[in-house]
């Protein structure tokens, strides 16, 4: 300690103690003033309307959430949920009538459609607000905000979850091991394209008649999406090596080119027909309406889907709790608007936009409150078993929709989830290849009639590949699709060219 000149050691010690006490008092006064100031601020309630099933005993959970919100942030939450079947209708009524709310769940093409509501002026542009919430922007990767950007502005905060796509195969582990024991030289880890898996399907067909070799309803035969062909929405895409970014429509591309390039609806349909003719798909695939019983009983020997951390357990559960192995055939790739599958927007008429964004910041960063709202109260709605959530049956609350709330990676793991799933998914998200048109979004408004026609025609001819004269059926499909499809394609090309020009990329 530096000695004060002109003072004795005793005087120096007394002076230092006095200074320390004064400093401590000052800190205490400042803290008290801060708490007092915070408590004097008006207590704002944020009204959040989102997707979710009714919870029979939500009141105790909401009360505890609001206790923590008041204590930590001087905020309150009104949490209003509607199931998927009624959510769209409820939100349209609220928005059209000007009903008071602050936050709402929105998606690109499913519920409370993001482009439609933005066009109506229903959502608040958030760009000017985001710099006030650094914890929120720091918690999420930059590409998420760009995926949410529409007409130059950000109108919603994406709910952070798996952001990339990576297609792959799932094969029954017992059959893979059985083939190995019999000396059949086929290695599932070497599968890179669909027909690499044919030895497996053939073996199942010949040795396990009780099983269906492959679940044909989820097969995607476009191998090079992301690596070569870039999806530009509404079934249009372009070769990323083409400096002109010339779009083609997946149903209208010349048949020969589809087969040569390995992309398009004719190409996919022909491959599906070959799978069916060889007996790898079920015989009645063209007419079957409900396959839930076959899935639950484990009748499918293989499936296709997104390969992701923890995804294997999900697929096994879906296909009869049969142990499976997985192999990706596409490297992780982030699409232009992938994050729009689940987002939260601020009502343009919100009386409390800053508090609404603060609530989103809380849900993306405060794990205690996030998990309380998602799972309920520990000891009442769930138990922790080795640090993982085990639902308490009939407790009256278990929202369990982290992906519809905010940052899914804040969620506690459940007992059927593998350790490290969130960290690994976050890593793959951040390392995935990103589309060159990040931030581009197709405005469907000029061609809504044509898009509706395309959708109707595609539904009408969805099973063309299983018809007797399938070539003639596809030609009928093409003929019907040509006029509306070309109109949509022309509009998409115009908008994509404008986007490249505006972003200095063309």
- Tallying the residues shown for the chain, one arrives at 506
pLDDT in tens, 248-284: 999 999 999 999 998 999 999 999 999 999 999 999 9
Task: Indicate if 58 and 126 belong to the same structural domain.
Answer: yes
Task: Indicate if 297 and 376 belong to the same structural domain.
Answer: no
Task: Compute the average pLDDT of residues 308-317.
Answer: 92
Query: Can you spell out the DSSP letters for 163-205?
Result: --B-EEEEEEHHHHHHHHHTT----GGG--SGGGGHHHHHHHH
Residue 296: C-alpha distances to residues 55, 317, 460, 482 (Å)? 27, 8, 29, 40
Cα 90 from chain centroid (whole Å): 22
Per DSSP, 3 falls in state P
Local confidence band at 159 (pLDDT 50, 70, 90 cut-offs): very high
Task: Indicate if 270 and 397 belong to the same structural domain.
Answer: no
Task: Compute the average pLDDT of residues 404-412.
Answer: 96
Taken in order 472, 474, 480, 486, the sign of the CA dihedral is: negative
Reply yes or no on whether the pLDDT at 113 is more than 90. Answer: yes
**Would you state the pLDDT for residue 445?**
85
Residue 24 forms part of a structural domain: no
**Would you state the pLDDT for residue 10?**
39
Percent of the chain clearing pLDDT 90 (strictly above): 78
The Cα–Cα gap between 302 and 305 comes to 10
**Would you state the pLDDT for residue 225?**
60
Reply yes or no on whether the pLDDT at 22 is more than 60. Answer: no
The Cα–Cα gap between 316 and 325 comes to 9
Task: Indicate if 210 and 273 belong to the same structural domain.
Answer: yes
Task: Tell me the HSE value of 377 on the side-chain side, using a 13 A CA sphere.
Answer: 16
- The helix/strand/coil state of 447 is helix
Nearest Cα to Cα of residue 358 among 422, 404, 406, 430? 406
Task: Compute the average pLDDT of residues 455-473.
Answer: 95
Measured in degrees and rounded to the nearest 5, phi and psi for residue 34 equal -65, -45
Last residue of a domain, one of 393, 415, 434: 434
Reply yes or no on whether the pLDDT at 161 is more than 60. Answer: yes
The Cα–Cα gap between 65 and 489 comes to 49
Task: Indicate if 321 and 172 belong to the same structural domain.
Answer: yes
Last residue of a domain, one of 406, 434, 462: 434
pTM: 0.82
Whose tokens are 């798909």? That residue is 281
- Structural domain tally of the chain? 3
Reply yes or no on whether the pLDDT at 33 is more than 60. Answer: no
Task: Report residue 256 as tokens.
Answer: 């020969």
Cα 52 from chain centroid (whole Å): 16
Spell out the alpha helix ranges (H) of 319-434.
Answer: 353-365, 367-375, 402-405, 421-431
Query: Can you spell out the DSSP letters for 276-291?
Result: HHTTSS-TTTTT----
Task: Indicate if 391 and 305 belong to the same structural domain.
Answer: no
Burial class (CB in 10 A: 0-12, 13-18, 19+), 42: exposed
Task: Indicate if 97 and 181 belong to the same structural domain.
Answer: no
Cα 260 from chain centroid (whole Å): 32
Residue 2 forms part of a structural domain: no
Please state, rounded to an integer, the average pLDDT across all residues of the chain. 90
Task: Indicate if 136 and 216 belong to the same structural domain.
Answer: no
The enclosing domain of 205 has a CATH number of: 3.40.190.10
**Would you state the pLDDT for residue 9?**
35
Q: What dihedral angle (degrees, nearest 10) is formed by the CA atoms of 143, 145, 147, 152?
A: -120
Question: Residue 382: in which H helix or E strand, if any?
Answer: strand 382-385
Residue 106: C-alpha distances to residues 148, 419, 439, 469 (Å)? 11, 30, 17, 43
Reply yes or no on whether the pLDDT at 444 is more than 90. Answer: no
**Would you state the pLDDT for residue 397?**
98
**Would you state the pLDDT for residue 4?**
35
Residue 22 forms part of a structural domain: no
Task: Tell me the HSE value of 189 on the side-chain side, using a 13 A CA sphere.
Answer: 2
Task: Compute the average pLDDT of residues 134-147.
Answer: 95
Q: Which domain holds residue 462?
A: 445-502
Q: At CA 457, angle to CA 306 and CA 239, rounded to 5? A: 50
Task: Report residue 492 as tokens.
Answer: 């998409």
- Residue that wins the pLDDT comparison between 362 and 292: 362
Measured in degrees and rounded to the nearest 5, phi and psi for residue 423 equal -65, -40
Task: Indicate if 308 and 423 belong to the same structural domain.
Answer: no
Task: Report residue 88 as tokens.
Answer: 């769209």
Residue 298 forms part of a structural domain: yes
Task: Indicate if 83 and 181 belong to the same structural domain.
Answer: no
The Cα–Cα gap between 345 and 326 comes to 36
Residue 129 forms part of a structural domain: yes
Task: Indicate if 113 and 48 belong to the same structural domain.
Answer: yes
Residue 181 forms part of a structural domain: yes
Task: Compute the average pLDDT of residues 448-465.
Answer: 95
pLDDT in tens, 52-111: 999 999 999 999 999 999 999 999 999 999 999 999 999 999 999 999 999 999 999 899
**Would you state the pLDDT for residue 20?**
43
pLDDT in tens, 179-224: 999 999 999 999 988 899 999 999 999 999 999 999 987 666 765 6
Last residue of a domain, one of 282, 301, 331: 331
Residue 33 forms part of a structural domain: no
- The helix/strand/coil state of 300 is strand
Task: Indicate if 67 and 201 belong to the same structural domain.
Answer: no
Per DSSP, 250 falls in state T
Residue 4 forms part of a structural domain: no
């Amino acid at each position: 300690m530096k000695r004060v000149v002109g003072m004795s050691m005793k005087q120096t010690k007394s002076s230092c103690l006095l200074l320390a006490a004064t400093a401590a008092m000052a800190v205490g006064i400042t803290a008290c003033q801060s708490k007092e100031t915070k408590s004097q601020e008006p207590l704002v309630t944020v009204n959040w309307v989102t997707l979710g099933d009714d919870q029979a005993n939500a009141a105790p959970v909401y009360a505890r959430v609001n206790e923590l919100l008041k204590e930590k942030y001087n905020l309150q939450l009104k949490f209003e949920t509607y199931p998927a079947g009624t959510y769209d209708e409820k939100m349209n009524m609220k928005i059209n009538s000007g009903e008071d709310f602050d936050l709402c769940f929105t998606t690109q093409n499913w519920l409370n459609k993001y482009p439609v509501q933005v066009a109506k002026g229903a959502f608040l542009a958030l760009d000017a607000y985001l710099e006030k919430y650094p914890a929120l922007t720091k918690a999420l990767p930059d590409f998420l905000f760009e995926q949410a950007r529409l007409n130059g502005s950000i109108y919603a905060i994406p709910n952070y979850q798996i952001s990339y796509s990576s297609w792959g195969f799932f094969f029954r582990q017992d059959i893979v091991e059985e083939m190995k024991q019999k000396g059949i030289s086929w290695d599932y880890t070497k599968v890179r394209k669909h027909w690499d898996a044919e030895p497996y399907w053939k073996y199942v067909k010949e040795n396990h008649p009780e099983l269906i070799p492959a679940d044909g309803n989820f097969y995607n035969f476009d191998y090079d999406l992301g690596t070569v062909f870039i999806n530009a929405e509404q079934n249009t895409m372009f070769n990323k090596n083409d400096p002109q970014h010339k779009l083609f429509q997946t149903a209208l591309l010349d048949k020969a080119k589809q087969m040569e390039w390995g992309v398009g609806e004719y190409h996919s349909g022909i491959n599906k027909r070959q799978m069916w003719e060889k007996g790898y798909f079920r015989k009645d695939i063209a007419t079957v309406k409900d396959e839930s019983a076959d899935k639950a009983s484990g009748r499918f020997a293989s499936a296709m889907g997104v390969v992701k951390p923890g995804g294997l357990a999900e697929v096994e559960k879906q296909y009869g709790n049969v142990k499976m192995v997985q192999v990706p055939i596409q490297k992780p790739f982030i699409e232009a608007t992938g994050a729009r599958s689940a987002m939260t927007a601020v009502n343009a008429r919100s009386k409390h936009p800053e508090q609404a964004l603060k609530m989103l910041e809380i849900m993306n960063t405060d794990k205690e409150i996030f998990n309380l709202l998602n799972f309920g109260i520990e000891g009442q709605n769930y138990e922790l078993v080795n640090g993982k959530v085990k639902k308490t049956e009939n407790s009256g609350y278990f929202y369990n929709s982290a992906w519809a709330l905010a940052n899914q990676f804040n969620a506690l793991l459940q007992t059927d989830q593998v350790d490290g799933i969130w960290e690994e998914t976050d890593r793959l998200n951040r390392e995935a290849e990103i589309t060159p048109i990040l931030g581009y979004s197709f405005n469907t408004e000029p061609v809504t009639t044509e898009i509706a026609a395309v959708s109707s025609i595609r539904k009408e001819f969805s099973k063309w590949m299983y018809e007797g004269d399938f070539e003639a059926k596809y030609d009928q499909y093409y003929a019907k699709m040509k006029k509306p499809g070309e109109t949509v394609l022309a509009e998409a090309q115009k908008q994509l060219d404008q986007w490249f020009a505006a972003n200095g990329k063309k």
